[in-house]
Structure 1
Amino acid sequence: MIKLIGILLIIIGFSLKLDTIMVVLLAGIATGLVSSIDFLEILSILGNAFISTRYMTILLLTLATVGLLERNGLRERAAKCIAMLQGATCGKVLTVYVIIRTIAAALSLRLGGHVQFIRPLVYPMAKGAAERNGALNKELDEELKSLANSMENYGNFYGQNVFIASSGVLLIMGTLKELGINGLEAYNIAKANFPMAVIAIILAGIRNYMFDKKISKKQVSSNE
């Protein structure tokens, strides 16, 4: 049981809101020591683990870049630009994004993301279009946030399975083979997922249209 001390340290460290990296490293070192592993070997294991997953540090660069752009007014500029477009509504902005995101996922292009696109760009643009005739209340604003994030999920989830080499298609093909269903290729699975991607875009568009109507109704009632 003492070998599980690392889990206990992580629970305590996260509960106390201590530095995440420090907590994880201490938990790893403590687990190694109670497992009678040499300290130098522990450091070697940690180093090898870092090197093998070093591509994950790219996310840190992305977060820093987005943070600098937001600090210098990216969100405000995006909202102002979309508010200047005639006929642009919150629902139309989100619908255009889900179409672009689905196509990008179908082509296996790394475009989109909650951190990289939704928070700094898509949400401010949608909010700017929504507030053309008045500010949103807190309830509508929170609903808009969830709706914008759902567009990312729809586009990524249904779009990626249209690409024949995606992990989702390969997982489906492997599962079907385990169940004894042979003769299906990745192309057949991707082709079958194409209608679902189209249906997802249509349903997302309807949902966005209904949200536009809800915003208009709320703004009209608040202005009276």
Structure 2
Amino acid sequence: MPPTEQLSEYEQQRLENIRRNREILQSLNIGDGPLLGAAPARIRGESADEVTKAEEQVIESNDATEFYHLPTEHFSTDVVKKAVHVDGHYTGWVEPGVMQRLGIKGSATEAWESEGGGKFSFKDPLGTGKKISKRALPAGQSAAKYVSSQMLRKNPNAYFYRNTEPGVDQWTGDWTDEERDLFIETATEFGCGDKWGLFSTYIPHRVGYQCSNFYRQCIIPEGWVIDDNYRLDSGGKAVYVGNHKRRGAK
């Protein structure tokens, strides 16, 4: 078999998934199955149809085995053409109306510095130079929720990841078609895949983590957006395979 550096990134990822599946099966004392540890079809000289048929047999025989596919392989050509294609990054800022109403500055740097600046760290997310005491937290509120609530004008992405605009109710439950369309419009204009707090300012009544969940659970699996940081498993579930270190804030 040729060395892995001659394989595409997708093929290398697939081999890694196969290796992981082998370990899972061995830990369960289950046989390897016909494809575990096998090279991609292009390397083995087998047709894609032969491999697909064999993979389906393995999937049916053992739920622990998953095979991930590129969205462009999973969906029809028509769906792929109509989908919004993104690189996993949101390039916008706070929605202009929200920014004006709340007095938020025009960029992340301006916002941070105008509200006292300081050095950001996960231990000191407010940049005050002081650790947050658990005793100072409001009753029943987590540290993450408390910190985000203090970041409206200093770090809007952190604030809107967990909070709606002040005075606006947060909706829960299924998304409406109108909300989905608004999501797609925003993704078309600014991209998506990170900075979900900022992204959510374009969708009233929803917060960043809801947008992130909707993205993974509906938008990608239904083919509305094609993001190469994701693959789809045999059941059509979105699986992140990108590099978290290269992505921006959540």
| Range of TM-score over shorter length | under 0.3
Structure of greater Rg? 1
Higher relative contact order structure (alpha carbons within 8 Å, sequence separation ≥ 6): 2
Structure with greater proportional strand content: 2
More helix as a share of residues: 1
TM-score with structure 2 setting the length: 0.23
